[in-house]
Amino acid sequence: MTDLPGDVGAANPRTYSVEEILHDGGSIYVRAIRPDDKERLREHFDHLSKRSVYMRFFTPRKRLREDELKNFTEIDFDNQVALVATLNTDGVERIIGVGRYFRTNATDARAEVAFAVLDEHQGRGIGTVLLEHLSQIARAHGIGEFEADVLGENNQMLNVFRNSGFVTQRSIEAGVVHVSFPTTETEAYVQASAGRDLLATAQSLRPILEPRAVALVGASRHPGTVGSTLLSNLRRAGFAGPIYPINRDAGEIDGLNAYRTVSAIGASVDLAVIAVPAVAVEDAVADCIHAGVRGVVVISSGFGEASAEGRAAERRLRELVRRSGMRLVGPNCMGVLNTDPAVLLDATFAPTFPPAGNVAMLSQSGALGIAILDRVQALNIGISNFVSVGNKADVSANDLLAYWSEDPRTEVILLYLESFGNPRKFARLAPEIARRKPIIAVKSGRSAAGTRAASSHSAALASLDIAVDALFEQAGVIRTNTLEEMFDTAALLATQPVPAGPRVGVVTNAGGPGILLADACEAHGLALPTLDAATVASLRSFLPAQAGLSNPVDIIASATPEQFERAMAAVGNDPNIDSLVVIYIPLLATTPDEIAQAIARGAAAVPATKPVSTVFLSARGAPPLLSAGPRGRIPSHSFPENAAMALAAAEKYGRWRARPAGVPVLLDNFARSTIRAIVDRVMHGTDGPCWLGSGDLATILGVAGIRMVESEQTSIDDAAAVGERMGYPLVAKAIAADVVHKSDIGAVILGLESAEAVDQAARTLQERLRAVGKSLDGVLLQREVRGGIEAIVGVTTDPTFGPLLVCGLGGVLVELLRDVAFRLAPVTDIDAAEMLGRLRSGKLLDGYRGAPPGDRAALIEIITRVSAIVDIIPELRELDLNPIKVLAPGEGAIVVDGRMRLAPA
């Protein structure tokens, strides 16, 4: 549930703070220890059992001394780092767990780690959470190994290390187990951490989506009010558990006993739905916390969407629920529903309750949510859950993805999003889920996307909508442009298998719609292949002579139900076909019901691995009989183009799902510590952004395994001598403040073959800079790399999405051509290969029209190693490696020029 990217906190552990979810669904607040924690730490120790104290300190102790409290809370956050897990109860923050590491000297890459968790909170996963965050901080500060001494009888602590995913080594002496392990993120660690987070988040939402008892705060007797509609919907849906109306002025509402407050009920309540004026919401939530309610849905508006005061109230509300172990949906939402027959929860004020099914949906818009529920009812799309998240003060798309990933009734996930909370977490979470369950998303706000003013090629090429596209494509999310497209795609994937390929077979009783479908398929990357000879012979045996037997198969207007059925079976079983579309226009003597029944029978004869969809070109749409056959529900689209779009989306998703996951590059501890040392030195005492010096950049690239051309910085007077020592040919580049694109002002001179040429070039650079009002700070001489294909690899940081990697071909022409591809970090080798595959100019790497080819593998490696650098430097704002000379296959690629901009994280 971490909402703050951990790397940002790891760069400055003194201000580290983040919310986390435990495996029982409860939430905690993890933050850096502070000097004012002395009393809280003393109370924490006093509430530890004698056994827990003995396990932590290896000796019986009654209290912590004042000097110990000072040493434990006033630390340097360099050699010592301590985090506390806290809960807020009735406005009082309590420490329920402590984790710390410490090293004996600043040069040691090892640190000892220790934990203490209150007895009543042991077994909830607090130690594991603290270990994960401490290891993250340690990696960022060059600590490559943790070690701990654990009493052999302390099975709980030993299990924390055993199940962490780290590769541990153990030795035992005198009943004490010495555990040591590298802090490097292994694949096992990443998988274990992700699995814990997924299950914990899913568990935390069960009180909201699977409650056993519901309280409605703001229940009303007055028809037409939100409080009355909510109560009516809860009862109408058939909720299985008790419903408690909460109203300060009523003793009974609609035959149910009413209560003044939730805490006055005197019985366990999982979910409270709150529909009172915004000014009363905080008190209502505080009462729910006091009553032990696990989840709240705040329908009330007047928060972040309304005013600055509302935003402040929303922040307080979020902090209140997060730090007390509760989850919250909203505020400013229309509620949640669950069609599970064991639950039957309708905690919304929508006028309709959708049919049960396998599609879960999130809507960020409440008003749109009402229209969506009406639409799915009309399309007969079955819903498992619907959640209107409103302002997303707490529960977000990431949380619901985690819940739906574990929900056996949900097989397709729909998202209507207006904004992202934590896109980096979405990028980690969505791919794992999308490999099992399709995720279809509409992201509004395309028109707001625009090119941001920026000082590097990489930043100038990025925009918000490009970031969304990169995120969705990388994560395997099917992005649709409209809600209509979303529902068309959902109707297909909720009822049919994912197509194995792009080959579409078409059966139609009218030629025009078949041609429209063929055109739409081609436009979306699908194909209508020639049918097998045996299929054509079979069709000829029962269709009239006027029928068109190519693909699309036009069985003409007089086609009978039997001919529809037999044609479907023949085309659907053709070995050249991956999916089948049937088009029907009501003509002549047949009725839609007759054809629907025939199509249902024909679909049963098509292999179950091939999707079947229909287009009923009728104002009434497809008859219900279409889904009454042995194959069950069959999707029907309004127009041929809709069917083609849905199939293309499903086929692209199938290709993504079949591809390998890929592997990101992880740099070793030496490289990480070297890079961090450079960045920490440069950023020390710096309040604003700064550009990294060429020498520091070369060192960072070098330890990251990225080859950079040999270069040396010098003065005008010494340039000739340096050139003689380096050898020829050389390139001279001007070094000057605020000059980013050197070629724009002639600040790069190529082809220097002698000391005289170098000397003249240095003086020419000085004159050119003087002509544009700049002063020359120095001259950079570089070995000239001739030949090769010019490329760019860079990074820009979006304020919402974080670091975006960009690659393209073209060198100085890259902004003119705008032939680039983006991905969010981290980028795997498969991601990098796909980035190059998306470039129109990517054929240059294969040797376009007789030109020399380039080392594609070397460029892919640079992209993945730049991604690894991003992981280590949260302060990185922009990076341009441009141009990169991609040499002949097997000869690698070399960075010719580069710039990196840093800013405080």
pLDDT score, position 3: 41
Question: Is the model more confident about 412 or about 824?
Answer: 412
- Sequence-distant (≥ 6) Cβ neighbours of residue 570 within 8 angstroms: 535, 538, 539
pLDDT in tens, 67-76: 999 999 999 9
Angstrom CA distances, 2 to 8, 129, 544, stand at 12, 11, 65
Question: Is the model more confident about 13 or about 810?
Answer: 13
Average pLDDT across the chain, whole number? 90
Rounded mean pLDDT, 375-396: 90
Q: What is the radius of gyration, based on Cα positions, of the chain?
A: 32
Return d(Cα 646, Cα 666) in angstroms, integer: 38
pLDDT score, position 6: 38
According to DSSP, the residues that pair with 146 across neighbouring strands are 111, 181
Evaluate if residue 902 carries a pLDDT over 80.
yes
According to DSSP, the residues that pair with 274 across neighbouring strands are 217, 298
495: DSSP letter = T
Instruction: Measure CA of the first residue to CA of the last residue in the chain; give whole Å.
Output: 21
- 707: burial class by Cβ within 10 Å (0-12, 13-18, 19+)? middle
pLDDT score, position 741: 67
**Chain position carrying tokens 């909508």:** 465
CB 797 within 8 A of CB 900: no
Crossing angle between the packed helical segments 640-658 and 423-434, to the nearest 10 degrees: 90
The whole-angstrom distance between residue 383's C-alpha and the CA centroid of its chain comes to: 24
pLDDT score, position 747: 87
- 545: burial class by Cβ within 10 Å (0-12, 13-18, 19+)? exposed
Return d(Cα 157, Cα 127) in angstroms, integer: 8
pLDDT in tens, 328-372: 999 999 999 999 999 999 999 999 899 999 999 999 887 788 888
Cis, bond preceding 853 (omega within 30 deg of 0)? no
CB 356 within 8 A of CB 341: yes
Evaluate if residue 9 carries a pLDDT over 60.
no
- 332: burial class by Cβ within 10 Å (0-12, 13-18, 19+)? buried
Return d(Cα 331, Cα 341) in angstroms, integer: 27
Evaluate if residue 818 carries a pLDDT over 80.
no
Rounded mean pLDDT, 785-795: 91
pLDDT confidence band for 462 (50 / 70 / 90): very low
* Range name among 38-47, 49-58, 671-680 with the lowest pLDDT average: 49-58
CB 713 within 8 A of CB 779: yes
Residue type, 797: T
Give which of 654, 652, 610, 645 is closest to 519, Cα–Cα.
645
What is the percentage of the chain residues whose pLDDT exceeds 90? 66
- Sequence-distant (≥ 6) Cβ neighbours of residue 177 within 8 angstroms: 149, 150, 151, 152, 158, 170, 171
- H-type alpha helices, 772-885: 814-817, 829-838, 856-872
Joined together, the tokens standing for residue 626 give 């279409």
Return d(Cα 443, Cα 52) in angstroms, integer: 50
Return d(Cα 728, Cα 206) in angstroms, integer: 70
| Strands, sheet with 214-217, edge to edge from the N-terminal-most edge strand | 243-246, 214-217, 271-274, 295-298, 327-329
Pairing of strands 876-886, 893-895: antiparallel
Evaluate if residue 7 carries a pLDDT over 80.
no
pTM attached to this predicted model: 0.86
pLDDT score, position 76: 92
Return d(Cα 420, Cα 662) in angstroms, integer: 25
Evaluate if residue 417 carries a pLDDT over 50.
yes
pLDDT in tens, 704-744: 999 999 888 899 999 999 999 999 999 998 888 777 667 77
Q: How many CB atoms lie within 10 A of CB 609?
A: 11
- 726: burial class by Cβ within 10 Å (0-12, 13-18, 19+)? middle
pLDDT in tens, 281-334: 999 999 999 999 999 999 999 999 999 999 999 999 998 998 888 999 999 999
pLDDT confidence band for 459 (50 / 70 / 90): very low
Q: Which own/partner pairs from 660-664 qualify as long-range (CB within 8 Å, at least 24 positions apart)?
A: 660/830, 661/431, 661/828, 661/830, 662/828, 662/829, 662/830, 662/831, 663/828, 663/829, 663/830, 664/826, 664/827, 664/828, 664/829, 664/864, 664/867, 664/868
* Range name among 14-23, 118-127, 182-191, 630-639 with the lowest pLDDT average: 182-191
pLDDT score, position 250: 85
Return d(Cα 586, Cα 567) in angstroms, integer: 18
- 851: burial class by Cβ within 10 Å (0-12, 13-18, 19+)? exposed
- 348: burial class by Cβ within 10 Å (0-12, 13-18, 19+)? buried
48: DSSP letter = S
